[in-house]
Each structure stands twice: as C-alpha cells, then as structure tokens.
Amino acid sequence: MSRLVLKNIVKKFENVIAVDHVSLEVEEGEFVTLLGPSGCGKTTTLRTVAGFYQPDEGEIYFNDRLMNNIPPAKRNTAMCFQSYALFPHMNVWDNIAFGLKMRKVPTEEQKKRVAEVLQMMSLAGMEKRMPSQLSGGQQQRVALARAIVTQPDILLFDEPLSNLDAKLRVQVRVEIKEMQKRLGITSLYVTHDQDEALAISDRIVVMNQGHIEQVGDPETIYLHPATSFVAGFIGLANILNGKVIARDEQRVLLELPFGTLWAFGGNLCPNVGDMVKFSFRPENLVQYREGNMNKIVTTVVHAIFMGNAVDLFLDAQGVRLRARAQNTEKFKSGDTVVFTIDEKAFQFLE
C-alpha cells in the first residue's frame, strides 16, 4: 500500500495541455475519484500515474519514492480498463495469473492466490473459460481479479463500469467499493459519471480543462460546490447572477429579474453593490407557504414525469429554473407555481 502524491503535474500532447499543474495527495487506503467531462485530463492523469505517459513537468511519488522514471512494469500499480483489456488468447486462470508469472511468484503460491481471488470475485468454476465466453460483468470481475491478485500498491480504474448496463453498473460499483475497503488498497478511480463518483469515493477531485476545480468528500462536492463548473457538472443546478443590494450580519439581499431573495452568506458574505454568482439545487425549490421569507413566482414550461419525481422546467420573469416536485403532484404547461427557497440553500460560486 502506498500514499500517492502528485506535484504540479503537466502533460502536453503536441500543443494541447491535457493536464495543467495538477497536485493531489491520496492517503494510504483512500479511494479517490477523478471526475470530469471527456477531455478534462482525468484519464491522462491516471495513465501518468501508471507510467504509460511521462509527465512534462512535476513529480509523482509513491510514499517518498519518486516514480517519474520508473517504467510501468516496475510501479506495482494495477489498472482496470474500460475495455477490460483481458488477454483474448488466455483463459480466465491464465489472465489472472499473468501478473504473478511476470513477478516470478512460485507456482504453488500462484495457484493459492489465484484460487483465492476467484473465490472472492465469485468466479470459481470459470477458470478454463476464454474471455469471449464471459458476459460483460464477468469479464469486469476477471479484470478486477487480475488487478488485485498482484497485491498492488495502488489500484487504478479507468472508467471500468462504462461498458456495463445501468443495473449491473450499480451492483459492480458496490462490489468494487466493498473489495477496496476490505483490502485497503489505495485507489484512484476515473469516471465521468457523477452518481458513480458520489457513490464510490472517499474524496472526489473534479477536473475541467486539465486543472482541478475542487477536491472534497462527496457531500462537500454536492452540497457546497466551489465553482459554477462544479455546481453545473455535479447534479442539476440553477446557476444565477445577482446583485447584492443589502446585507445584515451574515445574510445578503440579492436582486434578481424576478424579485429579491435573502441568502445566507456565512463568513464569505459579499458586500453591498457586488455582482455575485450563486447556485442552488432543483430540490431546494419548495412550495411557498405564507410567512416564508423568499418567494419566487414561476410559470411551468415543461413538467416531465420521472417516476420517482416530477422534473419541472420553469420560467420566472425570463429566468429559466429547474425544480423537482413530488410524483403525486400534477402539473401542466402554463400553470403558475409559487416556490420558496431556504436562505441556506445558496452556494456562492467563484
């Protein structure tokens, strides 16, 4: 097991900067996810850790050991690929034993360790099958087994679940998380799927255009996004601009096209006259009751029944808003609905 430290990593491809001064520390046994849209540099960062790419600048440490010039074969990382990357000409057993053979582990121990992971991954009895004879979920488990059997210092995951169907994806991500906790292997996981990141991670690193936008545990990332990119990328968010027209101790009064709203500013409370950018979640908009401080009058543009909720597309004096309502309520286009929002639901963005 290792602690992973990235210091100011820069990776360029010709003139494109794929990774732009990324610094990150992953503690021993921690599960950290790099989350971002395609092209944000998350996979490049991961592959740099694996040693497939050389960083143009910066340093990679496993514990205190500088890894920049260590070839991939000597890094003792294990990677799970999006394509699984099973060796098509080897059966399940030989696929899993490959890393042990390369490390010249004695045959007897190879047998013991492969049998162990086969059991752990519920693959017992499939040793002789070829990868082409396995389902997607089974292939993914073989890929996982092949990775953990080598007892790597760091486990690397490159969107391992994106080729699975939605139900299986949820199931396998729970398995990955449980296995990682049990074995306590430091893990770096790459995904563009925010639900997956929220469900599986100890900490999430949100990346955009090669740099890190925000690092934090899933609750912080979701409830307190630091930038409009994070607010917009993780879950749904209403991102608005407003002007501060008044303030008291910790609250500010924001002026918007559809009226004024009181927002809790905390210690970072902006000053009167400032233009501010802020966000709130669709579920923060709740039905207005007499006595509520904030009042937003909206018109329903679309109401989409989603099964567990109703997704509302609203118009408030020309400002588009999203809200979620209970699935028992009925809406139709053109209805006027009045919402309120708690003053603490606002996130001020950089």
Partner 1 sequence: MKEKNYSPIDYVLLIPGIGFIVVFIASSIIITITQSFGLLSVTGKSQFTIENWKAIFHDKESLDSVLFSLKMGVLSSLGTLIFAFPLALFLRKSGPGKRFLGSLIKIPQFIPALVAAFLIINLISYHGIINEALLALGIIKEPLRMLNDKFGWGVVVIQIWKNTPFVLLILSGSLASIHDDIIDAARNLGAGSFSVLFRIFIPLSMPGILISMILMFIKAFGDFAITSVAGPIYPPSIALRMRNTATLFQEWDKAAVLGVIIILTTLLITWLYSRLAEFVVGEK
The verdict on 78 binding partner 1 (CB under 8 A) reads yes
- Minimum gap (Å) between residue 252 Cβ and partner 1: 51
> ∠ CA 230-235-238 to the nearest 5 degrees?
75
42, 141, 146, 324: which one contacts partner 1 (CB under 8 A)?
146
- Minimum gap (Å) between residue 184 Cβ and partner 1: 20
- Interaction pattern, residues 310-349, with partner 1; x per rule: CB under 8 A: ----------------------------------------
23, 87, 293, 315: which one contacts partner 1 (CB under 8 A)?
87
Q: Residue 202 CA to chain centroid, in angstroms?
A: 10
The verdict on 73 binding partner 1 (CB under 8 A) reads yes
Identity of residue 326: Q
Give the H/E segment covering residue 46.
Answer: helix 42-50
Q: Using CA atoms, how far apart are residues 127 and 124, in angstroms rounded to an integer?
A: 7
The verdict on 269 binding partner 1 (CB under 8 A) reads no
- Minimum gap (Å) between residue 145 Cβ and partner 1: 12
Is residue 313 within 8 A of residue 322, CB to CB? The reply is yes
87 versus 305: smaller Cβ distance to partner 1? 87
Q: Using CA atoms, how far apart are residues 216 and 206, in angstroms rounded to an integer?
A: 9
- Minimum gap (Å) between residue 81 Cβ and partner 1: 5
Which span (99-107, 174-182, 211-219, 305-313) binds partner 1, by CB under 8 A? Answer: 99-107
- Of 64, 60, 3, residue with least CA distance to 28: 3
103, 112, 128, 344: which one contacts partner 1 (CB under 8 A)?
103
The verdict on 82 binding partner 1 (CB under 8 A) reads yes
DSSP annotation string for 262-294: EEE-GGGPPPTT-EEEEEE-GGGEEE--TT-S-
The verdict on 305 binding partner 1 (CB under 8 A) reads no
- Of 57, 27, 30, residue with least CA distance to 210: 57
Q: Where are the alpha helices (DSSP H) in 121-204?
A: 136-148, 166-183, 194-200
88 versus 273: smaller Cβ distance to partner 1? 88
Is residue 123 within 8 A of residue 140, CB to CB? The reply is no
Tokens linked to 159: 């969107």
For the purposes of burial, counting CB atoms within 10 Å of the CB of 221, is it exposed (0-12), middle (13-18) or buried (19 or more)? buried
Q: Residue 273 CA to chain centroid, in angstroms?
A: 36
Q: Find the binding residues for partner 1 in span 151-190 (CB under 8 A).
A: 156
The verdict on 83 binding partner 1 (CB under 8 A) reads yes
89 versus 167: smaller Cβ distance to partner 1? 89
Which span (87-95, 174-182, 237-245, 323-331) binds partner 1, by CB under 8 A? Answer: 87-95
The verdict on 88 binding partner 1 (CB under 8 A) reads yes
- Minimum gap (Å) between residue 85 Cβ and partner 1: 4
- Interaction pattern, residues 21-60, with partner 1; x per rule: CB under 8 A: --------------------------x--xxx--------
The verdict on 89 binding partner 1 (CB under 8 A) reads yes
Q: Which is it for strands 154-158 and 186-191: parallel, antiparallel or unpaired? A: parallel
CA atoms within 13 A on the CB side of 186: 17
148 versus 234: smaller Cβ distance to partner 1? 148
- Minimum gap (Å) between residue 72 Cβ and partner 1: 4
10 versus 70: smaller Cβ distance to partner 1? 70
Per-residue CA distances from 176 to 68, 79, 199, 277 (Å):
28, 13, 11, 38
The verdict on 11 binding partner 1 (CB under 8 A) reads no
Give the H/E segment covering residue 223.
Answer: helix 218-223
Residues that bind partner 1 (CB under 8 A): 47, 50-52, 71-79, 81-83, 85-89, 98-99, 102-103, 130, 146, 150, 156
